[in-house]
């Protein structure tokens, strides 16, 4: 790599991806500097991160915690700001090299767009950005000659498999899924699972929202939509296959029938690091994979009847327009409702399907249309939950 240190803006530094990104920066301080750190509401962790890494900026979205963060960092040369707009304004700073977007959900869209318009390369961990407005985001990236490097392990795997294949069209993407904690379970079983059950992912350590999405297979549905925009393919070129060991992170099939796969132990720090160093690879002390430790790698079809979210995501992708935006917003409200014990696990799919049927469809949406669709869907989904009979809320 060049000797110039890359200034990294980490949007969502206190989440799972954000903290692991700081691990990568800590181990490679000769290559990277944490220039901007942002948190939604975790002031304590943001303060401790800022004290260690001394970024130029620390931003807390929750404005009620601004004074707490500002006072704690007053002895350091750090500009402390508050609010979502502060993030949108600051990601355009001329000294920032790469913006790693790890904010949860729809909140990552506007900062990512602002960074792209400012010519910043993007390390994309916020899949909702492309799910909601993939057409706008990819067009802007092309217009501003911005590189989008995926951080999701599955999309990073495909990204890595594409290296050296510039002139070879993709025939099919095969995205792997662990199957989550409820693989092989029936609808009757899922009707009674708790938030604690759903938060026990067998292979990955992730934030609460993405862990629930993984349990419901909505995470895989969102990844299918994201893949369409990242790799310029159609829905029928994307296959999902369940791979419980989470060693084969995804596969890429070419028109001659050849398949390339990227393998490795389930550790998000590798795709994070690759997104920051691409096209180069740098040494790591990560644990190495051994085939003898995994003599059986298995694959199976996903159960689309039991886990309807994946099927709903394919439907939204094929319909296009603002439909992926609708399912994303509906899912965020549904997951929050499940985590708050307001609804059952299976009710999440019902909420999403109801929103798909009731929210106004727009075939060629603008950014304003996407923002309005998101707001309208959230209100509808919240009202839907409030109107459910009380017996459906005992979870």
Alpha helices in 244-346 (DSSP H): 269-277, 308-319, 323-339
* DSSP tally for the chain: helices H, then strands E: 16, 11
153 known ligand binder: yes
144 known ligand binder: no
Query: Among 102, 96, 31, 150, which residue's Cα sits nearest to residue 117?
Result: 96
Query: Among 346, 305, 308, which residue's Cα sits nearest to residue 198?
Result: 346
127 known ligand binder: yes
207 known ligand binder: yes
Query: Among 61, 108, 110, which residue's Cα sits nearest to residue 82?
Result: 61
128 known ligand binder: yes
306 known ligand binder: no
- Given a contact cutoff of 8 angstroms between Cβ atoms, the answer to whether 15 and 208 are in contact is no
The number of angstroms, rounded, from the C-alpha of 105 to the middle of its chain's C-alpha atoms is 7
- Given a contact cutoff of 8 angstroms between Cβ atoms, the answer to whether 40 and 63 are in contact is no
Locate 57 and state its tokens.
């900026």
108 known ligand binder: no
Alpha helices in the chain (DSSP H): 16-27, 43-53, 66-72, 84-90, 109-117, 128-143, 153-161, 187-190, 195-198, 208-216, 218-231, 269-277, 308-319, 323-339, 347-358, 367-386
Class of residue 358 by CB neighbours under 10 A (exposed 0-12, middle 13-18, buried 19+): middle
29 known ligand binder: no
390 known ligand binder: no
42 known ligand binder: yes
145 known ligand binder: no
- Report the C-alpha gap between 177 and 155 in whole angstroms: 12
Radius of gyration of the chain (CA): 21
178 known ligand binder: yes
360 known ligand binder: no
219 known ligand binder: yes
Q: Read out DSSP for 104-151?
A: -GGGGHHHHHHHHHTT-EEEE--THHHHHHHHHHHHHHHHTT--EEE-
Q: Is 241 helix (H, G, I), strand (E, B) or coil?
A: strand
201 known ligand binder: yes
232 known ligand binder: no
Binding site listing for NADPH: 14-17, 42, 126, 128, 207
Binding site listing for 1-deoxy-D-xylulose 5-phosphate: 127, 153-154, 178, 201, 214, 219-220, 223
Binding site listing: 14-17, 42, 126-128, 152-154, 178, 201, 207, 214, 219-220, 223
Binding site listing for Mn(2+): 152, 154, 223
């Amino acid at each position: 790599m060049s000797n110039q240190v890359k200034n990294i803006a980490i949007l969502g530094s206190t989440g799972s991806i954000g903290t692991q990104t700081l691990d990568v920066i800590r181990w490679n301080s000769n290559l990277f500097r944490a220039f901007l750190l942002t948190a939604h509401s975790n002031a304590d962790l943001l303060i401790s991160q800022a004290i260690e890494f001394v970024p130029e900026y620390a931003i807390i979205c929750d404005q009620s915690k601004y004074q707490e963060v500002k006072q704690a960092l007053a002895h350091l040369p750090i500009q402390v700001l508050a609010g979502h707009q502060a993030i949108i304004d600051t990601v355009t700073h001329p000294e920032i090299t790469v913006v790693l977007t790890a904010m949860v959900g729809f909140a990552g869209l506007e900062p990512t767009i602002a960074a792209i318009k400012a010519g910043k390369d993007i390390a994309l961990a916020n899949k909702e950005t492309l799910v909601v407005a993939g057409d706008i985001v990819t067009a802007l990236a092309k217009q501003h000659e911005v590189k989008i490097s995926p951080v999701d392990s599955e999309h990073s795997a495909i990204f890595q498999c594409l290296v050296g294949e510039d002139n070879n069209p993709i025939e099919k993407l095969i995205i792997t899924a662990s199957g989550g904690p409820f693989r092989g379970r029936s609808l009757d079983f899922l009707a009674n699972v708790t938030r604690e059950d759903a938060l026990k992912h067998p292979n990955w350590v992730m934030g609460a929202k993405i862990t629930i999405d993984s349990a419901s297979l909505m995470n895989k549905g969102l990844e299918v939509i994201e893949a369409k925009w990242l790799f310029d393919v159609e829905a029928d070129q994307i296959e999902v296959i369940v791979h419980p060991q989470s060693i084969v992170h995804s596969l890429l099939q070419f028109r001659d029938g050849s398949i390339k796969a990227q393998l490795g132990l389930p550790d998000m720090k590798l795709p994070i690091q690759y997104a920051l160093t691409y096209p180069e690879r740098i040494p790591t002390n990560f644990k190495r994979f051994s085939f003898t430790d995994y003599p059986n790698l298995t694959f199976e079809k996903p159960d689309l009847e039991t886990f309807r979210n994946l099927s709903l995501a394919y439907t939204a992708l094929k319909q296009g327009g603002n439909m992926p935006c609708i399912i994303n917003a509906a899912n965020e409200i549904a997951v929050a409702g499940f985590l708050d014990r307001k609804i059952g696990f299976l009710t999440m799919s019902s909420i999403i399907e109801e929103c798909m049927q009731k929210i106004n469809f727009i075939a060629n949406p603008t950014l304003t249309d996407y923002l309005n669709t998101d707001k309208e869907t959230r209100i509808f989904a919240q009202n839907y939950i409030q109107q459910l009979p009380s017996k459906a809320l005992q979870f």
